[in-house]
Structure 1
Amino acid sequence: MAVRILKHARFTIPNTLFLSQFSTSSPPPSDQPHHIISTVVSLLTHHRSKSRWTHLHSLCPSGFTPSQFSQIALDLKNNPHLVLRFFSFTQRKSLCTHDLNSYATVIHILSRGRLTSHAQNVIRVAIRFPEPNPVMKLFEILVKTYRECGSAPFVFDLLIKCCLEVKKAETCVDIVRMLMSRGLGLKVSTCNALIWEGSRCKGVNFGYEIYREVFRLDCEESERNGKDVKRVVRVRPNVHTFNALMVCFYREGLLERVENIWFEMEGMGCEADCYSYGVLMVVLCEEERMREAEKLWEEMRDKGVEHDVVVYNTIIGGFCKIGQIGRAEEFFREMELSGVESSCVTFEHLVNGYCRVGDVDSAVLVYKDMCRKDFRPEGSTVEVLIRGLYDKRRVFEAMKILRVGVEKFGLSPTKKSYMFLIKGLCEEQKLEEALKVQAEMVGKGFEPCLEIYNAFVDGYMEQGNVEVANMLRKEMLESQKRQEEV
């Protein structure tokens, strides 16, 4: 066997290793691991044929300990692609029962070689290791082996981002604190990801506390007040940091805090981008502060920040909300002239705006234009249009709009849409058609409400069919009683 291996090998293998396999005496135990490591490194480094892995398997059929694997990997650390292939080979052939130490070695080497996606894949496996608190254990090992592996600083950023994927925001905060205690900082993108996930999982106030801590803002205040604070590496928040905070405060309905973050961003000399302006614009429009919204619009123009479709939609929607449909149309025309493509939201704002001021004809024209562009309308928008047509006693036109929406776009009508159609048909004495719509409504899982019962009762009374009207009244009272019991 030894002769065959030596004959085909293209590199020099220490004879003592192979002689020991057939000798009654073996070298001291402390020497043998060294021979295995050096031999494997030599094989992987110099044997460039595809058969290197076959030779490796024949050479070490019983595999490696995690410590041996780490030593081999460290000797190959300047060739991270080879380390990755070696790591994958040991996993595929079950040649090593990897522990967090060997995982850490691979993570460091892949990180220093800028193979970040592969490093993250290894981290994802390691943080699910079957032992208590594997995340913190892996972090401690990464810290201890950092210099030995000549790693890259962002290895800790990769760890935190992977931990955020599995919703371990609080553990990440603990890691950040330990890094900060050692004078180490993180990339701003990692801090932003931590703020975002922390806000999502624990609430925006928790996210804001993270923001204050990771960017050491309280330390800066202490320094300004003349207090002695340990000097550490600092990273500055960027526009994406403030955008994340503004969005998180907005989602929790804390609109005043959105403006506070905006002023904080300005105070730090951070230039807002289109997204920043868009978030603040939403707040101003929701609070119907359209004068301020227009000033913000002009500020964007003065600073050379382009208006995108989101900002156009926001200000158009703001003017539609307060019934200033003329101003909304002006911004819509400007939008088209600027070459900014309108979206489904643009047309929905205009439909709602025209219906709000009672101009149903214009609302129908906008809706038809929207359908021609193959924008799928929301059920709530169709509901507003159907109500507008119902108010104008144009129920059959409303019926047609609903049918086209269902057939062309798979629209899911709202209960109120059905209610307006039924009321309109009953008022037109089209009770058979109203019953068909009511049957369709029930088929969609909507129970008849008092308004629908009353519409049918009034319709049958109008026809002089008192018997059916009384029967419906009785059914209505029984249905109301059942609902109260529930």
Structure 2
Amino acid sequence: MAAISPRSKPRPLLSILSSRPSISSSSSPNSSDPEADPNETLISTAISILKEHRSRSRWSQLKAILPPTGISPSATVRILSALRNRPHLALAFFTFSRCNDLLSFSAAAHIAARSRLRPAALRLLSSAVRLYDSPAIFETLTKTYRSFDSAPFVFDLLILAYLDAKKFDRAVYVTRLLLSRGIHPLLSTSNSLIRSVSKLNGSDAGLGLYQELFGSDNPRVSPNVQIFNTLLLALYQDRQSDRVHEIRVEMEKLRVDPNVFTYSILLAGLCEDGKRIREAKELWDEMAGKGIKPDIMAFNTMINGYCKTGEMVMAEALHRDMVLNGIDATCTTYEHLIRGHCKVGNLETGMVLYKDMKRKGFAAGVEVVDEVLDEMCKRDRVDEGLVILRKEMKREGFSPSRRSYEVLIRGFCERGMMDTAAKLQAEMAGRGFEADKKVYDAFVEGYRRIGEEDKVMRLCEEMNHMITFKESVT
């Protein structure tokens, strides 16, 4: 969907829902003359078999009376209508009939919806939207709505079915049809719509859809906190945190109270680059003043903010508060703290946390390993760094980064351990990382340190050739 399609102007909903579909205009099977209409005999007999026979025999009996061509769509819908008060039997018959026409799907979906069998209704509509990429699905549902005494949320399920099928333009189209007829989707459906549109077309599109759903044209329907959280998250993901004030003003105007997730998103926007940690602290205090207890997401966000600014005393204080409040540290908590301590040069504390994290079964991310190795090499503990890398490489799913290799190569070259550095460079190349200027510089300085000037000259020539080649290509 490149863009949200414009509003359409369909006929009023009441005129659609009050009209009787063609399937209901026929007389009931019991009032017709079986000898005059063979199809009526089939329908009447099928209904009798389904209602009166036991489950083990009804399907074989039903199969025995069917013509070679099977049950027609019109007969299927008539039988479903007669079974609508026995939803499980009706849905079993629909599966048995193997009818894939739109009218049969709609009838079965209505039966499931009126009986509050939401998952079954959603599955049926999901199958229909895969088979029929047409507005006729909505029209057929509306025409058969009264005949099956359906439930209004069947239209919400149609919207969700389109969203599940990634047919976002159809979902928005149906939503606008409903809005134009005075019917508003459920708040949960509206939330799913805004989230999907925001992911596809960005936060501006999500805000536009919010205005359609809850703007001045729909004053009787108020959004809930989940709707606002979706908008805030979309703005955060689009790096438009400077616009969150608009959402907060709207929440205050509509008297929608924020929850802990709201604050977590707001905190994340303030802590993103570590430059607005003071504002984040004010928001943290505001949350506490309202009696909202922070969850693990909020704690991790604030801890990360302090780690980015190097304020490890505050980060550790929050970590202690979190534990005292009965919230266990996650892998993310450890990663923030380890990187923070390494950033300020507290390698020993970082290693204590690293070992504690490993003891608890958490897997360190590549960036954390990079930070630890970098700090170790700065302190001439490159051998320990290599041991850590080898242990991590034994873990399934871990793949060392270019930075890990570069850090270790630099460390061994500074020690003059050129053979070890050369082996790491060969391993690095085997993983698809070409040597760059940083690697060449490390080897040049390493060989120069041990007095092998001939190798220094060859490496300098090779490096210059590499740089010239890359410049000519670009």
Q: Provide TM-score, normalisation by structure 2.
A: 0.88
For residues 432 and 15 of structure 1, what CA distance do their matches in structure 2 show?
96
Equivalent residues in 2 for 1:9-408, closer than 5 Å: 17=34, 27=36, 31-62=37-68, 63-91=70-98, 97-129=99-131, 133-134=133-134, 136-215=135-214, 217-219=215-217, 234-287=220-273, 288-408=275-395
Letter in 1 for 2:458: M
- Alignment deviations for residues 347-390 of structure 1 (CA, whole Å, 9 cap, x no partner): 11111211222222222222222222221111111111222222
For the 8 Å contact 1:421–1:434, the answer to whether it is kept is yes
For the 8 Å contact 1:422–1:434, the answer to whether it is kept is yes
For 1:455, the equivalent position in structure 2 comes to: 442
For residues 385 and 58 of structure 2, what CA distance do their matches in structure 1 show?
75
For the 8 Å contact 1:379–1:414, the answer to whether it is kept is yes
For the 8 Å contact 1:259–1:280, the answer to whether it is kept is no
Equivalent residues in 2 for 1:394-473, closer than 5 Å: 394-408=381-395, 411-473=398-460
For residues 459 and 128 of structure 1, what CA distance do their matches in structure 2 show?
63
For the 8 Å contact 1:43–1:52, the answer to whether it is kept is yes
For the 8 Å contact 1:100–1:141, the answer to whether it is kept is yes
For the 8 Å contact 1:70–1:105, the answer to whether it is kept is yes
For the 8 Å contact 1:167–1:201, the answer to whether it is kept is no
Q: How many pairs align?
A: 442
Letter in 1 for 2:150: S
Q: 1:361 to 1:49 in 2, by over 3 A?
A: closer
Matched residue of 1:36: which SS? helix
Cα distance, 1:151 vs structure 2? 0.5
Matched residue of 2:161: which SS? helix
For residues 444 and 352 of structure 1, what CA distance do their matches in structure 2 show?
25
For residues 67 and 387 of structure 1, what CA distance do their matches in structure 2 show?
73
Letter in 1 for 2:151: A
Letter in 1 for 2:187: V
For the 8 Å contact 1:186–1:235, the answer to whether it is kept is no
Tell me which structure has the larger Cα radius of gyration.
Answer: 1
For the 8 Å contact 2:42–2:65, the answer to whether it is kept is no
For the 8 Å contact 2:129–2:165, the answer to whether it is kept is no
For residues 357 and 32 of structure 2, what CA distance do their matches in structure 1 show?
81
Higher relative contact order (CA 8 A, sep 6+): 2
Identity across the alignment (%): 39
For residues 247 and 371 of structure 1, what CA distance do their matches in structure 2 show?
32
Matched residue of 2:217: which SS? helix
For the 8 Å contact 1:163–1:172, the answer to whether it is kept is yes
For residues 295 and 203 of structure 1, what CA distance do their matches in structure 2 show?
29
Matched residue of 1:34: which SS? helix
For residues 268 and 340 of structure 2, what CA distance do their matches in structure 1 show?
17
- Alignment deviations for residues 88-113 of structure 1 (CA, whole Å, 9 cap, x no partner): 1112xxxxx43111211111111101
For residues 85 and 396 of structure 2, what CA distance do their matches in structure 1 show?
57
- Consecutive unaligned residues of structure 2, counting only runs of 5 or more, are 1-29
For the 8 Å contact 1:66–1:102, the answer to whether it is kept is yes
Q: 1:461 to 1:106 in 2, by over 3 A?
A: same
For the 8 Å contact 1:249–1:258, the answer to whether it is kept is yes
For the 8 Å contact 1:281–1:293, the answer to whether it is kept is yes
Cα distance, 1:276 vs structure 2? 1.0
Matched residue of 1:219: which SS? coil
For residues 330 and 398 of structure 2, what CA distance do their matches in structure 1 show?
18
For the 8 Å contact 1:425–1:434, the answer to whether it is kept is yes
Cα distance, 1:59 vs structure 2? 1.8
- Consecutive unaligned residues of structure 1, counting only runs of 5 or more, are 1-12, 21-26, 92-96, 224-233
For residues 42 and 405 of structure 1, what CA distance do their matches in structure 2 show?
68
Cα RMSD, aligned residues only: 2.0
